[in-house]
Amino acid sequence: MKARAVAVFAAVAALSAAGGAAYHLWSTGRSAGSGTDPAAVVERVLATPLADVAGGTREIGQWRGGVIVINYWATWCAPCREEIPVFVRMQERYGSRGLQFVGIAFDQPDKVAAFASEFRINYPLLIAGLETLEQLRQAGNRAGVLPYTLVIDRKGNLVSREPGGIKEARLESLVKPLL
């Protein structure tokens, strides 16, 4: 009798735990979608043409072969702005060794252009397009946070994804071995 009682309790507990887990998966997993294989995501990010601040279009793929740091940001996003000077410094320091920063802004082109000249941004800035948000989510940033930074090595492999502000020391330790 006692053993049966224990079994009943355990079964009910297990069922409800399974239910809870299923709900959790259901509620968090809905936005996952397919095609989140990192290589495929990077390929799409590199191949998508985006507008630049000058009115032209560019593909990030044109810097293939270098170490590419893609920074998703916006001028209205204070934590994004704080790390821009770090990128400017590192572009200056390592640009000649093959490091290429690219900024992708969720913003209006004129705001981005004004910001770029005020902060003397020395790397290309592109404007997020229709696909960008979906790519950002597929790259692992489901909540769509900014800033978000991807580090891609010379062979086009996704080396690191950094949600939120990134410290100079951390970025340097990521990038230096790849150069």
**Using CB under 8 A as the criterion, which residues of the chain lie in contact with other proteins when the complex forms?**
1-2, 4-6, 8-10, 12-13, 16-17, 19-20, 23-24, 27, 72, 74-82, 85, 106, 115, 118, 128, 133, 136, 142-147, 163-165
Smallest separation (angstroms) from other proteins to the CB of 157:
25
Smallest separation (angstroms) from other proteins to the CB of 143:
5
Q: Which is nearer to other proteins, 17 or 47 (CB)?
A: 17
Smallest separation (angstroms) from other proteins to the CB of 46:
20
With 0-12 / 13-18 / 19 or more C-beta atoms within 10 angstroms meaning exposed / middle / buried, residue 129 is middle
Helix (H, G, I), strand (E, B) or coil at 106: coil
Smallest separation (angstroms) from other proteins to the CB of 66:
26
* Distance, CA of 113 to CA of 52 (rounded, Å): 9
Which of 69, 71, 67 lies closest to 81 in space, CA to CA? 71
Q: Which is nearer to other proteins, 7 or 39 (CB)?
A: 7
Helix (H, G, I), strand (E, B) or coil at 152: strand
Which of 28, 48, 69 lies closest to 130 in space, CA to CA? 48
